[in-house]
Structure 1
Amino acid sequence: MIQRIQSIYLLLAAIVSCGLIFVFNLWTNNTGELIYATDNIISLALFLGSALLSLVSIFMYSNRKLQFVLGRLNIILNFFLLGFFVYQSLNLSGETNVSEKGIGMVLPIISIVLLVLANKAIKKDEDLVKSVDRLR
């Protein structure tokens, strides 16, 4: 049942994690150069891993418990990515490396919100199936 609302949330989370990293910059360094997620291998790997987890969990609709667990792992991965961005922006070794933050640093927060909404919908479906099974 791919046409469920959690599939839309997961698809939007995959688009945020994979598509928008090429559009929005993460920060601007001291020389005025825009830094994108593709310039840093760690942030690129974490963003693409998050997008891959979202896409895989879309097609796990027959196993809702595994879909729910993959959603939680994806939320943890995005929190790790957010912590990496906070570390990069607060890294003060002599002169600050990050002079201006970009909108790309907010992308993990948007992805986390979409994943929480997807997990909420998955839980609602699971509860509905359990209640129907009780009636049989």
Structure 2
Amino acid sequence: MLQRIQSIYLLAASIVMFGLFVFPLAKDVSVAPGVLDGPMLTISVTGVQTRGGFSDYKQTETFAALPIVTVIAALVPLVIIFLYKNRKQQIALCYSAILVFIGYSFWMAQTVKKVVGEITLEYRNMGIGLFLTSLSIILIIFAFKAIQRDEKLVKSADRLR
């Protein structure tokens, strides 16, 4: 059945991962520290945008693999939803999705670190995108717990027969 609570958790995890295309990973990172009017970087999943002075942002660098992996990672929770007849496989895929999201988070952080370089990223420069994978992991853990409760309920019902 698709109307279970874990389906909502998994759908929310997928939507949160697709939110990485909307929210930046790091914003307004100064290329030249100490210069207020200098170029500012905004790093997102799709690439790096630069804003020079008070002008609009322009795309300076495009990432090739990161958006593709983001789409694949965002589709994993959707796939898990439709495996509702096989709860053991859902549990295994939840474990796998958590591991994939942890690796993906590390890859995102390393990408931001590589772009920023020697500049220290402050809290005010961190974008919402850096925290979305953590939120997605939490939602998958909630779905995992709900799937385990369903499995326990089915086993107890089988014992009663």
Structure 1 residue aligned with 2:34: none
* 2:45 counterpart of 1:34: no
How many positions carry a matched residue from both structures? 135
Q: Deviations over 1:2-50 (max 9, x none)?
A: 00000000000010111x1122101134231212112233432332122
Structure 2 residue aligned with 1:113: 138
Shift in alpha-carbon separation, 1:23–1:90, aligned structure 2, 3 A: closer
Shift in alpha-carbon separation, 1:94–1:129, aligned structure 2, 3 A: closer
SS in structure 2 of the partner of residue 34 of structure 1: strand
TM-score, normalised relative to structure 1: 0.87
Q: Which is strand-richer, 1 or 2?
A: 2
Q: Which is helix-richer, 1 or 2?
A: 1
Q: CA RMSD in A?
A: 2.2
Task: Pick the aligned partner of 2:96 from 73, 78, 92.
Answer: 73
Structure 1 residue aligned with 2:78: 55
In structure 1, stretches of 5+ residues that fail to align are none
In structure 2, stretches of 5+ residues that fail to align are 32-38, 48-62
Counterparts of 1:12 and 1:128, CA distance in 2 = 24
Structure 2 residue aligned with 1:133: 158
**Contact 2:10–2:139 (CA under 8 A) maintained in structure 1:** yes
Name the aligned partner's letter for residue 66 of structure 1.
Q
Structure 2 residue aligned with 1:8: 8
Name the aligned partner's letter for residue 106 of structure 1.
F
Name the aligned partner's letter for residue 52 of structure 1.
L
